[in-house]
Amino acid sequence: MGSDESRLPPLASDLRLAQRRAPLKHQLPYAKSQPWQGWTLRDRDPAVIQSFMPFYRWAYQHYFRVQTDGWENIPAAAPCLFVGSHNGGLAAPDMHMFIYDWVQRFGAERPVYGLMHPQVWSVFPRLGQVATQFGAVRSHPKMAIAALAAGASVLVYPGGAQDAFRPHAQRSRICFADRRGFIKLALRQGVPIVPTISWGAHDTLIVLEDCYAQACQLHELGLPWLFNRDPEVFPIYLGLPWGLAIGPLPNLPLPSKIYTRVGRPIYFERTGRSVLKDSDYVEACYYHVRDQMQSELDQLIADTA
């Protein structure tokens, strides 16, 4: 997520425009000319989400045999920022199992919007369309701000591809890829952060190593990027359907038991746009969230040993 304050829309105008255009408080004013591009909340389709639930239920109960807890920690009425660490490459099965649990508990009508990398829409347009119908929006400050302002919760994985493709040896470490955008978002909007952690999904794709540094050297020598886009990671891994493969390709997850946990909400003493000027405070909040999530993950690993 970017953090350029000049690109953040005024909150008051967001709300006025949303109220003018749509009766539902979770609809969003940012409409582009083409649908399913992640620039509006209106493309989320509860009917589409519900149609996928039989398959999700089978995967949840039989393929991943999910065990979960901590859902009582979610604030009952106010929106929150779910911050997670995910595994398993582009398939990210722990993320999908979180969505299934959300729908089973709150119904498809109660929205939670996920911030997704913009490259998905350009490289995998069909996947981008389906993800948008599930509630994916662009990983852009104005989308996250408007969703929270409209009363919906937001799900973000700050580590992005570096997190989803982190080597198997680092599976027990929280990875935010040194990004602070999610902290600035929570502080600016005054919403709590609710950690969402998982264990076991790292075995659905065995990442041996990330060779991004070496791939960058080859690119400087003239080797083009796949799809002419910087992939940000270049893993070597074992998984379906490729066997041994390199690069962030779409994958099918191997069967593995997955444990998920929703942590206790993290509230901040000082919030609002003005606190973003205090870099020391922002850093302290960042490390507080990271350390608490690491502690939660350590406990989950111990509980499932």
The pLDDT assigned to 7 comes to: 32
For residues 8 and 14, give the distance between their C-alpha atoms in angstroms, rounded to a whole number: 10
How high is the pLDDT of residue 174? Answer: 97
Dihedral sign from CA coordinates of 248, 251, 256, 257: positive
Output the pLDDT for position 42: 92
pLDDT at 36: 83
pLDDT of residue 92: 96
Give the model's pLDDT for residue 292.
Answer: 97
Are the CB atoms for 154 and 144 separated by under 8 Å? Answer: yes
pLDDT reported for residue 227: 80
Amino acid 218: pLDDT:
92
- pLDDT confidence of residue 122: 86
Per residue of the chain (305 residues), what is the pLDDT tens digit? Answer: 433 333 333 333 333 333 333 333 444 444 444 778 889 999 999 999 999 999 999 999 999 999 999 999 999 888 999 999 999 999 999 999 999 999 999 999 999 999 998 888 888 889 999 999 999 999 999 999 999 999 999 999 999 999 999 999 999 999 999 999 999 999 999 999 999 999 999 999 999 999 999 999 999 999 898 888 889 999 999 999 999 999 998 999 999 999 999 999 999 999 999 999 999 999 999 999 999 999 999 999 999 98
CA 275 – CA 292 distance, rounded (Å):
21
Cβ distance 138 to 32 under 8 Å? no
Multiple choice CATH, 5-206+257-304, 3.30.70, 3.40.1130, 1.10.3470, 3.30.530? 3.40.1130
Q: How high is the pLDDT of residue 226?
A: 82
3-state secondary structure of 259: strand
Residue 70 dihedral angles phi and psi, to the nearest 5°: 90, 5
Query: What is the pLDDT at residue 26?
Result: 43
